[in-house]
Amino acid sequence: MLAFSQPLKASGIIFNVQRFCIEDGPGIRTTVFFKGCPLRCPWCHNPEGISAAPQIVLSKTRCMNCGSCIEACSTCAGDHTLENCARCGLCAEVCPTGAREMVGRTWTVDEVRSMVLRDRIFYDSAEGGVTFSGGEPLCQPDFLIACLQACRSEGVHTTLDTCGFGARDKLLHAAELTDLVLFDLKILDSDGHLRHLGAPLEPILENLDALIGQQQRIWLRLPVIPGLTDTDQNLASVLELASGASCIEKICLLPYHETGVSKHLNINKNYDLNLVSPPSDQRMREIAAQLSDAASEVVIGG
């Protein structure tokens, strides 16, 4: 096992925990969403997970302009753009409609473990477990490793959902404590990846190669975004990359959906894919057929 001289972090920032998930790995799972992400995917359906810090989100459709938030925090609560928000959370505490919400708080490893163990009976009966997702869990690597250790010590199946961008030693250490890695591939063109996602592609591919080298169980996940990830060139690159790597057990095709539209508005960010429509069922079947030789199983969803 890789050794680290520094103690692992006993706490970190999480912005959501979803129980009874069925699409973040095998069986029934609890998905823990870490805050912070190095990518800027324009289709992101969890944009509230991009910033590493807790933040206020504002649903303008629920706001009834009662003024409670301004009374609680006159510094910035009246600012619907959230540009001057001090992230004190007072406005969310007093908001009667829940229009303002603080997203992200500090969790301890023990709190994560306790939450995960609530549904152990379902993991045991449905071959499920816990999935650490985000954001990007590798943005908080020591906290991630500590959570993985805690869950593994309880005999819980662990899954890591990652974009692959992070320190390789931390990733490999986390992988040693992980039963399955969900590795999210997006655009396999260096220029396109940097232009659309805001980060270089090369470290991601190098980290994937390292995981393959240690025979880590991997499910590749490809979001199908019309005009960006579903091009013939991109699909050919995915096929070439996945072919011949026996530890890549499955390819999961994730059709674009519009969940991120309202979420971007709630954090006062522009949504750049307003003219993109979800791919048709026929298109998804065509892509699955194109990639059928790359893994023993290609599925839509998951």
pLDDT, tens digit (0-9, with 9 covering 90-100), for 6-60: 456 789 999 999 999 999 999 999 999 999 999 999 999 999 999 999 998 888 8
- 3 pLDDT exceeds 70? no
Stated pTM of the model = 0.91
The domain total for the chain is 2
Both 181 and 280 in one domain: the answer is yes
Sequence length of the chain is 302
pLDDT, tens digit (0-9, with 9 covering 90-100), for 30-45: 999 999 999 999 999 9
Q: How far is it, in rounded angstroms, from Cα 67 to Cα 84? A: 17
Q: How far is it, in rounded angstroms, from Cα 263 to Cα 265? A: 5
Both 92 and 231 in one domain: the answer is no
Residue 112 inside a domain? The answer is: no
User: For residue 77, what pLDDT is reported?
Assistant: 60
pLDDT band of 80, cuts 50, 70, 90? low
- 5 pLDDT exceeds 50? no
User: For residue 76, what pLDDT is reported?
Assistant: 66
Residue 3 inside a domain? The answer is: no
- Find the CATH number of the domain harbouring 61: 3.30.70.20
Residue 110 inside a domain? The answer is: no
Q: Name all contacts of 148-151 with Cβ < 8 Å and 24+ positions apart.
A: 148/174, 148/177, 148/178, 149/8, 149/177, 150/109, 150/110, 150/112, 150/113, 151/112, 151/113, 151/116
Residue 258 inside a domain? The answer is: yes
Both 67 and 45 in one domain: the answer is no
Both 46 and 65 in one domain: the answer is no
Residue 233 inside a domain? The answer is: yes
Q: How far is it, in rounded angstroms, from Cα 156 to Cα 274? A: 40
Helix (H) or strand (E) holding 259: helix 259-266
Both 131 and 244 in one domain: the answer is yes
Q: How far is it, in rounded angstroms, from Cα 45 to Cα 243? A: 29
Nearest to 222 by CA among 270, 272, 192, 187: 187
Both 174 and 229 in one domain: the answer is yes
- 91 pLDDT exceeds 80? yes
- Find the CATH number of the domain harbouring 126: 3.20.20.70
Both 97 and 41 in one domain: the answer is no
pLDDT band of 4, cuts 50, 70, 90? very low
More confident residue, 112 or 86: 112
